[in-house]
Amino acid sequence: MATNLKRVYLVCHEFSPEQGSECKGGWNIALELNKIVDLTVVAAETNQWGSQNYRLAVEKNVEARKLNILWISQPKKYKRPSNFGSNIFSQVSYFLRLRGWNRAVIKKLKNHQIDVLHFYNHISFRAFDSGFSPLATKIIIGPVSGVQIFPLGFLNFGIIYNCNLLLRSAINFVHRFLKRSAFQAENISAIFAVTLDDVKYFEGLNKRVIALSDMAQDSELGEVDLVHDNRNFDSEIRLLWVGRLDNLKCLDIILEVFSRSRIINSRFKLTVLGDGENFLKYERIIAEHKLNILLEGRVPFKSVRDFMIASDLMVHSSLKEAGSAVANEALSVKLPIMCHDAFGFSIHLDDHYVIKIPFISFETSVQGFQKELENIARNNSVLSQLRSNIKNHFMPTTWEDHAIIINKEYE
Residue 162 is assigned to a structural domain of this protein: yes
Is it the case that residue 247 has pLDDT exceeding 80? yes
Residue 2 is assigned to a structural domain of this protein: no
Residues 357 and 224 in one domain: yes
Is it the case that residue 232 has pLDDT exceeding 70? no
Tens digits of residue pLDDT in 154-199: 988 888 788 878 887 887 788 777 778 888 888 999 999 999 988 9
Residue 146 phi/psi, 5-degree rounding, is: 160, 5
Residue 18 is assigned to a structural domain of this protein: yes
Tens digits of residue pLDDT in 70-85: 999 888 776 666 665 5
Is it the case that residue 111 has pLDDT exceeding 90? yes
Residues 21 and 108 in one domain: yes
Residues 197 and 302 in one domain: no
Residues 324 and 309 in one domain: yes
Tens digits of residue pLDDT in 263-319: 999 999 999 999 999 999 999 999 999 999 999 999 987 899 999 999 999 999 999
What type of residue is 377? A
Residue 323 is assigned to a structural domain of this protein: yes
pTM: predicted TM-score of the whole model, two decimal places: 0.88
Is it the case that residue 2 has pLDDT exceeding 50? no
CB under 8 Å to 171, separation ≥6 — which residues? 91, 92, 95, 126
Residues 162 and 117 in one domain: yes
Residues 12 and 133 in one domain: yes
Residue 292 is assigned to a structural domain of this protein: yes
Give the residue among 362, 363, 317, 325 at the shortest CA–CA distance from 341: 317
- pLDDT score, position 1: 45
Across the chain, mean pLDDT equals: 87
Residues 262 and 170 in one domain: no
Q: Please tell me the total count of domains within the chain.
A: 2
Residues 177 and 290 in one domain: no
Residues 84 and 153 in one domain: yes
Is it the case that residue 59 has pLDDT exceeding 70? yes
Residues 181 and 328 in one domain: no
Is it the case that residue 209 has pLDDT exceeding 90? yes
Do residues 45 and 14 touch, judged by C-beta distance below 8 A? no
Residue 1 is assigned to a structural domain of this protein: no
- pLDDT score, position 394: 80
Residues 139 and 26 in one domain: yes
Tens digits of residue pLDDT in 365-398: 999 999 999 999 999 889 989 999 998 888 878 8
Give the residue among 132, 107, 99, 129 at the shortest CA–CA distance from 117: 132
Do residues 308 and 390 touch, judged by C-beta distance below 8 A? no
Residues 74 and 33 in one domain: yes
- pLDDT score, position 163: 84
Domain that holds residue 307: 220-393
Is it the case that residue 21 has pLDDT exceeding 80? no
| CATH at residue 309 | 3.40.50.2000
Is it the case that residue 23 has pLDDT exceeding 60? yes
